[in-house]
């Protein structure tokens, strides 16, 4: 199933502040999820297998690396944690990097929020305005994303243009 996101990722020095704001706004807390995202070596874009207590799926996505709100074109395939899919993908494609994170998941209407603590990287917040069927449109998604960025007082210097996988690869190759 494919859909469009407008999203941001930012360093988060005070996750408790974001958590408190989300709760005060009545966000629907879906829970805490320990997620292992295994990124595979593919010639284009990104392919990862997410294994968690709440979310389990194979995710293919296209996204340009840029600071601030950016579009992601996403295809999700729901999986279960007891399949041999990881072994098949690992043997056929090879593993690029593994991201290990603790994630809090919140929703408000079509907007998904993550408060992440990523092993070796630290704390982050993500805002994903999601259009699953083309009924919302990119302009509205952008407005939603920018509205929450302002509400959370996310500063431009804290925005991250790349994925956690790219950040970890930078650490591994000392490019950060």
Domains annotated for the chain, with CATH where assigned, are 2-172 (2.40.320.10)
pLDDT band (50, 70, 90) for residue 176: very low
Q: What is the mean pLDDT of residues 13-21?
A: 95
In this structure, what token pair is assigned to residue 152?
Answer: 């959370």
Q: How many CB atoms lie within 10 A of CB 153?
A: 11
Contacts 24+ apart (CB under 8 A), 90-97: 90/38, 90/40, 93/40, 93/41, 93/42, 93/47, 94/40, 94/41, 95/38, 95/39, 95/40, 95/41, 96/39, 96/40, 96/41, 96/165, 96/169, 97/39, 97/165, 97/168, 97/169, 97/172
In this structure, what token pair is assigned to residue 116?
Answer: 């992440």
Q: What are the tens digits of pLDDT across the range 121-130?
A: 999 999 999 9
Q: What are the tens digits of pLDDT across the range 33-45?
A: 999 999 999 999 9
Which candidate, 65, 63, 60, places its Cα nearest to that of 47?
60
**Distances in whole angstroms, Cα of residue 78 to Cα of each of 56, 67, 138, 146:** 6, 29, 25, 29
């Amino acid at each position: 199933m494919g859909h469009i996101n407008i999203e941001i990722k930012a360093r988060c020095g005070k996750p408790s502040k974001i958590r408190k704001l989300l709760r005060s706004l009545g966000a629907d807390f879906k829970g805490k999820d320990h997620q292992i995202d295994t990124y595979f070596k593919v010639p284009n874009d990104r392919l990862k297998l997410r294994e968690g207590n709440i979310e389990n799926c194979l995710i293919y996505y296209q996204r340009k690396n840029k600071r601030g709100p950016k579009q992601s074109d996403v295809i999700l395939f729901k999986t279960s944690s007891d399949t041999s899919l990881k072994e098949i993908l690992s043997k056929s494609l090879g593993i690029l990097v593994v991201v290990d994170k603790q994630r809090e998941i919140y929703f408000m209407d079509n907007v998904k929020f993550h408060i992440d603590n990523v092993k070796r990287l630290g704390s982050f917040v993500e805002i994903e305005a999601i259009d699953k069927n083309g009924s919302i449109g990119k302009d509205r998604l952008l407005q939603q994303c920018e509205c929450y960025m302002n509400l959370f007082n996310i500063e431009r210097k804290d925005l991250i243009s790349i994925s956690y996988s790219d950040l970890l690869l930078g650490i591994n190759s000392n490019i950060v």
